[in-house]
Structure 1
Amino acid sequence: MATNHNITATGRKDEGKGASRRLRRSGQVPAIVYGAHQEPQSVQVEHNHLWLASQNEWFYSAILDLSVDGKVQKVLLRDMQRHPFKQQILHLDFLRVSENEALRAKVPLHFVNQEKSPAGKTAGIVVTHELNEVEVSCLPKHLPEFIEVDLSALAVGDIVHLSQIKLPEGVTIPALAHGKEHDLAIVIAKHARVEAEETAAPEAAEVPAAKVTKPDAAAPAPKKK
């Protein structure tokens, strides 16, 4: 059952850098809502409420119920600007979604049962997660908050690719339509010794060989004083 995630906003008319600075000083975050064949709308969101929401994974991948002056719109977070060193959100972009139009969104991957797998139980095996999220295409009603990747059968030497992910109903991975070269590895199980050798080889190649300069036999010997 899908969970509703609510964000409350207020419409705003003042725009520009000066207006945005005043909003931030008053504890508000300027934002824009666009898409779904409607005019863009400037809004503001209370910072503390927004900051708490931003600590959750769903804030970045789930469809949000954005209430603007009491009117609810279905949106996806498309961009968020943060202060370079303060715990402060500076600006947000929300994309309206239409229930009858397919959308693209990045969804987190949750890896489960790794510790129960043959690879997970074998000493000296390193299991690496090459990707932590994947872009999917689907109708809004089918958009998952995350996709589980079951690693219970992962064996030593296995490589799990995008095409092996069990997708929810109505969900596809657009990248797979572009050929095998886009079927990226998402999990690799290999011996730690092999990983160490692969890591050390490039480093060794980067160290230049020592250059030995022989004395020039034709050069005259220095005069003794």
Structure 2
Amino acid sequence: MAETDIFYCEPREKTGTGGARAARRAQWVPGVLYGGGADPVAIQLKKNEVEKAFKNGRLRSHLAKIDVPGEDGQQPVIARDVQIHPVKGLPVHVDLMRVDEKTRLDVAVPVRFINEEKSPGLKKGGVLNVVRHAVEVYAPATAIPEVFELDVDGLEVGDSIHASAIKLPDGVTHVITDRDFTIATIAAPSALRSADEEAEAAEADAESESDEAGDAENEAEDKEE
């Protein structure tokens, strides 16, 4: 089961760009707490706690809790918007949404492939071409899948893995429902693709030469007549 992060947060008195910069200088990450039938509140979170969750891949689409001074208990929340520093690559602003067991969210759940050593296509030198590294689903906020495992056992070169291969937990549905979209394929190795392309090119050249020879023969017959 995935670890649940607990963020200590405080109300942020100063808002706007100046307030956000002041919070960052003091080793906080500014943010907003909203949802749950309450008014939005400007908050600040401990930088080390936010960066730990982010580096471990748990900040987005993972249920967390916040510890608010003066309030009893810890509130379940989920990060709905995370702004990343363009150079440092770390969170600089986080919007948290209050949730409960009735809250349903659209989230991107990462995919993981298993039994790659049992795929004949990969053994032959094929390549696992991942089309989607995550799949969007609607899920209860308190029961978001951590990862979807997809089995490549028995797959040959040219085979594909589609959305229908995912075993969705109860209460979880795909966001995309109008097609059985592709998640990954077993692509031919580059050497084999090159050989196939050369063969196709040679075949095309042969057909072209045959057509040219036929045209020349027809032209000669026309002259004789």
- The residue aligned with 1:78 is 80
From the two aligned structures, give the one with the greater helix fraction: 2
Question: How many angstroms apart in 2 are the aligned matches of 1:135 and 1:120?
Answer: 27
For 1:75 and 1:67, the matched residues in 2 are separated by 11
Q: Cα 1:196–1:30, aligned 2, differ >3 Å: closer, same or farther?
A: farther
Q: Is the 8 Å Cα contact of residues 80 and 95 (structure 2) preserved in structure 1?
A: yes
Instruction: Name stretches of at least 5 consecutive residues in structure 1 with no aligned partner.
Output: 200-225
Counterpart residue type for residue 94 of structure 2:
L
Deviation at 1:185, TM superposition (A): 0.8
What's the counterpart of residue 106 of structure 2? Answer: 104
Taking a change above 3 Å as real, the CA distance of residues 186 and 195 of structure 1, as seen in their structure-2 partners, is farther
| Amino acid across the alignment from 1:39 | D
CA contact (8 A) 2:108 2:135 kept: yes
1:188 matched residue in structure 2: 185
**Greater shift in the superposed pair: 190-199 or 1-10:** 190-199
Partner of 1:45: 45
For structure 2, the residue ranges without an aligned partner over 5 or more in a row are: 198-225
Structure 2: distance between partners of 1:15 and 1:197? 62
Summarize deviations over 1:59-114 as a string: whole Å, max 9, x none: 22211112222542211111111222135432111122231132211111111112
Residues 197 and 143 (structure 1 numbering): CA distance in 2 closer, same or farther, change over 3 Å? farther
1:27 corresponds in structure 2 to: 27
Distance in 1 (alpha carbons) for counterparts of 2:135 and 2:46: 30
Q: Identity over aligned residues, as a percent?
A: 34
Q: Write the distance in 2 (CA, Å) between the matches of 1:92 and 1:145.
A: 20
Letter of the 2:52 partner, please give it.
L
Opposite residue 144 of structure 1, the aligned amino acid is: P
Is 1:160 equivalent to 2:164 in the alignment?
A: no
Partner residue of 1:210?
A: none
Normalization by structure 2: what TM-score? 0.77
One-letter identity of the residue aligned with 2:51: W
CA 1:128–1:12: 2 relative to 1, 3 Å: same
Q: 1:54 to 1:122 in 2, by over 3 A?
A: same
User: Scaled by the length of structure 1, what TM-score is found?
Assistant: 0.77
Out of 186-195 and 20-29, give the one that drifted further. Answer: 186-195
Q: Per the alignment, do residues 21 and 3 of structure 1 end up closer, same or farther by CA in structure 2, a change over 3 Å counting?
A: closer
- Which amino acid counterpart does residue 63 of structure 1 have in structure 2? L
On the 8 A contact 2:100/2:142 being kept in 1, the answer is: no
**Cα distance, 1:196 vs structure 2:** 5.7
Which whole-Å deviations, capped at 9, do the CAs of 1:103-128 have from their partners, x for residues lacking one? 211111111112222222223x1211
Task: Kindly state the Cα deviation for residue 139 of structure 1 after the two structures are TM-superposed.
Answer: 1.6
CA distance in 2 between counterparts of 1:145 and 1:197 reads 41
List structure 1 runs of 4+ shifted beyond 6 angstroms. none
User: Could you say what the CA RMSD is over the residues aligned between the two structures, in angstroms?
Assistant: 2.3
Partners of 2:115 and 2:79 lie apart in 1 by 30
- Once the two structures are superposed, the pairs formed by residues 142-181 of structure 1 within 5 Å of their partners are 142-176=143-177, 179-180=178-179
Pairwise CA distance, 1:141: 3.1
Q: Residue 34 and residue 198 in structure 1: after superposition, are their counterparts in 2 closer, same or farther (change >3 A)? A: farther
